[in-house]
Structure 1
Amino acid sequence: MKGLNIILAILLVFAFGISCEDFTSYQPKGVVSEADLQGPESVEGLVNAAYAGMANDHWVAPFTNNWPWGSVRSDNSYKGGAGPADQSGYHNYEIFSTIRPDQSKADGVWFNIYRMIQRANEAMNAVKGIDEGSYPNKTERLAEMHFIRAHGHFLLKRMFKRVPYIHEDIPSDSLKFVSNVEYTSQELWDKIAEDFQFAVDNLPQTQEDVGRPNKPVAQAYLAKLRLYQAYEKDEQHQVTNINQDRLQEVVDLTNEVINSGQYSLFDDIAQNFLWEWENGEEILFSIQRSKDDGTPIGRIDMANALNWTMNPEFGCCWFHLPSFNLVNSFRTNADGIPMFDSFNDEVMVDSADFHENTFDPRLDHTVHVPKHIFKYQSDVIYDSSYTRAPQVYGPFSTMKEIQQLDCPCLAVPKGYAYPTSTKNNTIIRYADVLLWKAEALIQLGRQDEALPIINDIRERANNSRDRLRYENGDYVSNYNIEPYVDGVNINWTQENAMKALQWERRLEFAMEGVRFFDLVRWGIAAETLNNYFDVEKERVPILQTAQFTEGRDEYLPIPQQQIDFSEGTYEQNTGW
């Protein structure tokens, strides 16, 4: 990459086809003059371009599904592929010890997210310049652009910690001189929160168009931000305080979303990962995908394009693979709750292991296990032919982002010989909202209020078995999951409740790109990952040199390419 920089975003607004289903079908082409941007149709095109920018990622630098950043860097998954040399940059990130500030993949994420932010800023300026009489949606569209800008800055801050905050009033020739340390970490959270708050204050309660955020969605995202912000950290990234006022904001905001009555859990967790329900009642906000929409390859999910299995129907490339540690974490004891301390004492790998032991049903919604059914298809059995390098990474494959063999959502991008899909990328689902509230309540010392919330999630998991059967009706694994009952199968102290919450988040959102960020938020990344490496490297030798350095590896280094572009304005993160 040659000095990738955020200014290019302005020039590239019209370089990409625009389509995000329904309202984003507008496709601007070519070069436009200032006069061209003054009519309602052209302004709406800029708004749509900002939405399209949310989906403009790729496996070389994904951010709609954070599988390299939130899963591969955690104890949930390995990079996968043919071995460490295949997309080797991601292997550097999974073992931490060989990360360098000049690696291109993090630089690509930085660039592409700032390009999305700049599209939102350009659209914001265009919307501001048009009369509300000719553009009745003016205030609403401004709120949507504030939401998109906040989404981009949130992603960046979660990955890099100290990043420049780019707003619409910064002249293009000054962009590269905006400091990434102008604000303290807490102040930067507040700047991003201002954008979400603007969205909360100005978005409608509901939206007619699929894919646009509404008020409850903005409230949910603001709650997510405040939860991250509540864990106050020092310059060495260590948690020094858990802010009770921020936690209460999380409770209040999630209550607003819950009380809106607009969202609920799906009856079966599988519905979150199947194309047919991609905009259903559990999905608050997702990146809308499409194909055959007039753009060069469609608004298809290139972010996950490496992660499909090797069977003839797909053919490539077997990345993002569940770890032995993750598979073991689904084990349950005789009381139907997680084996918190002993889950990893034995390796679950042989077919008999999954019948001689008991498991949380979410195992088979997350992991393709040998001799189990493939993606809820009782007549298709997953076996070694679906794998690529099992001698390196073991026998398991990812499941959630993969679609069924006959899904109408499958797409083969032009110029490629393997599929991806038009399944939307979920950003927030209702289970998130419930568990954010539960986490805040526990940290406030109100763990008794969190207990029924966590049990609601577990009850849904228990009820999500119907798709997990062979053709003869037998379950593919031996399931045993029960609610937590204080004094019966757990002592529901604040400490134990927090452990249960952390476990619940791991199982519920495994392989959805969030695990690493949860560990960093809680301040337990170093302990968790180094304990993981100590055991896992004996099972997967490519992890022999893996080591998490506390006080450094919680965040990626500021890309050296961006420091050079800023002429030294940007300051490097601690430890790099």
Structure 2
Amino acid sequence: MRTINALLLLLIAGALISCDGALDENPSGKLSGDQLATPDRVESLVTAAYAALGNGHWDASTYTDPWPWGSVRSDNSYKGGGSVADQGVYNNYEQFSSIRTDLDKADQFWFKSYQGISRANLAIEKLGQISEEEFPMKTRRIAEARFIRGHFHFMLKIMFKHVPYVEANEEKALKNVSNREFTSQELWDKIASDFQFAANNLPPSQPEPGRVDQWAAKAYLAKTRLYQAYRQDDNNQVVEIQDDKLQEVVQLVDELEASGEFELFNDIRKNFLWEFDNTDGGETVFAVQRSRNDGTVRGRVNMENALNYPMNSGFGCCWFHIPSQNFVNSFQTNSEGLPKFDTFNQNSLTEPQDFQQNTVDPRLDHTVALEGHPFKYDNNRIYNPDVWARAPATYGTYTSMKGLQPVGSPAVQQVVFFYASSKNNDVIRYADVLLWKAEALIELGREGEALPIINRIRNRAANSKVKEANGENVSNYNIEPYRDGQNINWTQETAREALRYERRMELGMEGWRFFDFVRWGIAAETLNDYFETEKQRRSYLQDARFQEGRDEYLPIPQQQIDFSDGTYVQNPGWPGG
């Protein structure tokens, strides 16, 4: 992805939507519409829209690496850091019971997302003012901008449910667009229309890394339809699963499979190491392109997860996004190499010997740093929680690994006190896409067709063992495929359970688990069961409680309701809702 330059930032700054008093100003540096509607400048406006994807930050605008919203609010991870008060607003979100409508992190997420939408809309508007003869790439660039707009609206939708759908770039447009203009299902259709346009008008491949293509658009359309298929009532309860939407998911994923453009890596680790970025025929379907040493001050490194590096020499800050004990326990397998669906949390794996005395799924050692095991596959860097963990008395001894790069990696760059990398961050990878298809097939009553898909991913996991320097496995691995009539009775019910478990093993700590819960309609029962046991292990969770019918979505930020002069309607269960 090309980096937006400083001059362009100055040119477009006045045209970006803001959520404060700047909307009432007429910036002196703002260009007129005629000045922006030239081939060179509309190309730059599309680049600026792409740049918005890479402008995320751990301060709350984590809209391509949503670990605070999808992991910390799930049973997969704790907030972490130096204490409960460190980035304490994320602690409110983790515990649910202390969320308020005026917390700043959600407000920042909203604000930054609509800035991204504004950039996309400005590009679309100005592209519409020039002809194909003037700019032969016009339709393709509109499709790219609509994809970007679709991404930001999708993230807002799964965070807040009822949000303004903005497709005009007029000043003050945002505050005047009701967040209830469309029903929830109609809003999904609006988001889907952007991805459908992109799918219809983008080529199968692009000459420049970082530009979205037809397959990324079809994948995001499939994801949108999957979420939409689980129709919710006004209290966020799933009341219907729509077959037509599920069938569309299957059809779209079939097209991705038939394209021959994607394949599961032979080892899952390749998804999480910088050197395998931009691999032809690999697993990335849609990723934000990162860079360093590119002529800018700090490059386009991923600041969204810059809080999450451990405290050891070589990094040093700040140990957030810490795997939960429940999550670590969930990797246990039984004697037949299958998950311990109902019993995994009855005993805890806490000591180094526990990972030899019990059998586990190999994906554990790709996801969680464990005492005595290599950190990010480096046998010269053995994880020592006495040195690497920052607040073990509060959050335990583990460290997350997927979003991080090894010590000494050419991708890692220090930014003041923090560490970040130029590893592209995958928003959609192929294993996720295949599991969408498996999920849709199961809900359509075609669970037999889902079985080989899930086994394909399990077989890749079995081939992804992490080794010590002497060639021995670092843990006692035992993972097998599901065999109907032998190690499992493959019914729709058991297939659904297996699919949901597989998503946790394969995609754990990638930021999507909470949103899975809400889609399936199981957030309250799952999280309250989790809190009941986990608060006995982590005392800071004593007051944690998920309120059904409210906590599936964040409240509309009070700052935004005030900004809209009451146009926005608060979500159910929150003050004013």
| Alignment of 1:182 onto 2:184 | no
Task: Kindly provide the CA deviation profile for residues 492-541 of structure 1, in whole angstroms up to 9, marking residues without a partner as x.
Answer: 00000000000000110000000000011000000000000000000011
8 Å Cα contact 1:217-1:257 kept in structure 2: no
Aligned length: 550
Q: Matched residue of 1:419: which SS? A: strand
TM-score between the two structures when normalised by the length of structure 1: 0.94
- Give the aligned residue type for 2:542: Q
* Other structure's SS at 1:302 match: coil
- The answer to whether the 8 Å contact 2:33/2:126 transfers is no
Deviation of the 1:136 alpha carbon: 1.2
Aligned residue identity for 2:356:
H
Q: How does 1:169-248 map to 2 (within 5 A)?
A: 171-248=170-247
Deviation at 1:277, TM superposition (A): 1.1
| 2:539 maps to which of 535, 538, 541 | 541
Counterparts of residues 382-393 of structure 1 (less than 5 Å): 382-384=383-385, 385-393=387-395
Residue 369 of structure 2 corresponds to residue 368 of structure 1: yes
Deviation of 1:33 (Å): 4.5
Who is 2:476 aligned against? 478
1:503 maps onto 2:501 in alignment = yes
Rounded Cα–Cα distance in structure 1 between residues aligned with 2:238 and 2:417: 46
1:402 alignment partner, one of 404, 410, 435: 404
Q: Indicate which of 552, 555, 558 corresponds to 1:557.
A: 555
Q: Which residue of 2 aligns with 1:307?
A: 308
- Residue 434 of structure 1 aligns with an amino acid whose one-letter code is L
Residue type at the aligned position of 2:432: D
How far apart are residue 278 of structure 1 and its match?
Answer: 1.9
Preserved contact between residue 37 and residue 130 of structure 2 (Cα < 8 Å): yes
- Matched residues in 2 for 1:171 and 1:311: separation? 49
Shift of 1:406: 1.6
User: Residues 438-457 of structure 1 correspond to what in structure 2 (within 5 A)?
Assistant: 438-457=438-457
The aligned residue for residue 426 of structure 2 is: 426
> What is the one-letter code of the residue matched to 2:220?
Y
Separation (CA, whole Å) in 2 of partners of 1:197 and 1:423: 29
Q: Residue 503 of structure 1 aligns to which amino acid in structure 2?
A: Y
d(CA) in 2 for partners of 1:283 and 1:42? Answer: 30
- What does 1:88-487 correspond to in 2, within 5 Å? 88-168=88-168, 171-280=170-279, 281-384=282-385, 385-413=387-415, 416-465=416-465, 468-487=466-485
Structure 1: distance between partners of 2:11 and 2:446: 46
Letter in 1 for 2:193: E
1:9 shift after superposition: 12
In 1, are the aligned partners of 2:287 and 2:428 still within 8 Å (CA)? yes
Contact 1:146–1:199, Cα closer than 8 Å, also in 2: yes
Kept in 1, the 8 Å contact 2:15–2:30? The answer is no
For 1:284 and 1:550, the matched residues in 2 are separated by: 34
* Deviations 1:193-250 (CA, angstroms, capped at 9, x unpaired): 1111111111111111111111111111100000000001001100001001111111
* 8 Å Cα contact 1:10/1:118 also seen in 2: no
Matches of 1:148 and 1:382 in 2, distance apart?
Answer: 39
Report SS of the residue matched to 1:213.
coil
Tell me if structure 2 keeps the 8 A contact 1:67–1:512. Answer: yes
Matching residue of 1:27: none
The letter of the residue matching 1:219 is K
**More displaced stretch, 285-294 vs 219-228:** 285-294
Please give the alpha-carbon distance, in whole angstroms, between the structure 1 residues aligned to 2:121 and 2:11. Answer: 10
3-state SS of 2:180 partner: coil
Q: Is the CA contact 2:331–2:361 (under 8 Å) kept in the aligned structure 1?
A: yes
Deviations, residues 107-163 of structure 1 (Å, cap 9, x unaligned)? 000000110011000011111112212211111001111111111100000100000
User: Deviation per CA, 1:401-456, whole angstroms, max 9, x where unpaired?
Assistant: 1101121111122xx12321111110111101110000000000000000000000
Give the distance between the partners of 1:429 and 1:90, measured in 2 at CA.
27
Residues 525 and 554, structure 1, Cα contact 8 Å, conserved in 2 = yes
CA distance in 1, matches of 2:506, 2:126: 41
Question: Structure 1 CA distance, aligned partners of 2:473 and 2:128?
Answer: 57
Task: Give the deviation of 1:34 after TM superposition.
Answer: 3.8
Contact 2:63/2:152 (8 A) holds in 1: no
Q: Distance in 2 between matches of 1:104 and 1:299?
A: 25
| C-alpha distance in 1 between matches for 2:264 and 2:153 | 28
Match of 2:25 in 1: none
What amino acid is aligned across from residue 414 of structure 2 in structure 1?
A: V
Gap regions ≥5 residues in structure 1: 1-7, 16-29
Shift of residue 92 of structure 1? 0.2
**What residue ranges of structure 2 are gaps of 5+ in the alignment?**
1-9, 18-28
Question: Which aligned pairs between 1:49-68 and structure 2 lie closer than 5 A?
Answer: 49-61=48-60, 62-68=62-68
Instruction: Tell me if the contact between 2:11 and 2:31 (Cα under 8 Å) persists in the aligned partners.
Output: no
For 2:7, the equivalent position in structure 1 comes to none
> Deviation per CA, 1:51-72, whole angstroms, max 9, x where unpaired?
0011111111122210000000
Equivalent-residue separation in structure 2 for 1:13 and 1:417 (angstroms): 33
Alpha-carbon offset, residue 471 of structure 1: 1.1
User: What code does the residue aligned with 1:57 have?
Assistant: G
Counterpart-to-counterpart distance in 2, 1:160 and 1:278:
32
Q: How many Å separate the matches in 2 of 1:487 and 1:10?
A: 62
Which moved further from structure 2: 287-296 or 360-369? 287-296
Which SS does the other structure have where 2:134 is aligned? coil
Q: Contact 1:469–1:475 at 8 Å: present in 2 too? A: yes
Taking the aligned partners of 1:155 and 1:352, their CA distance within structure 2 comes to: 41
C-alpha displacement of 1:293: 2.9
Q: Does the aligned pair in 2 maintain the 1:9–1:115 contact within 8 Å?
A: no
For 2:65, the aligned partner's letter is: N
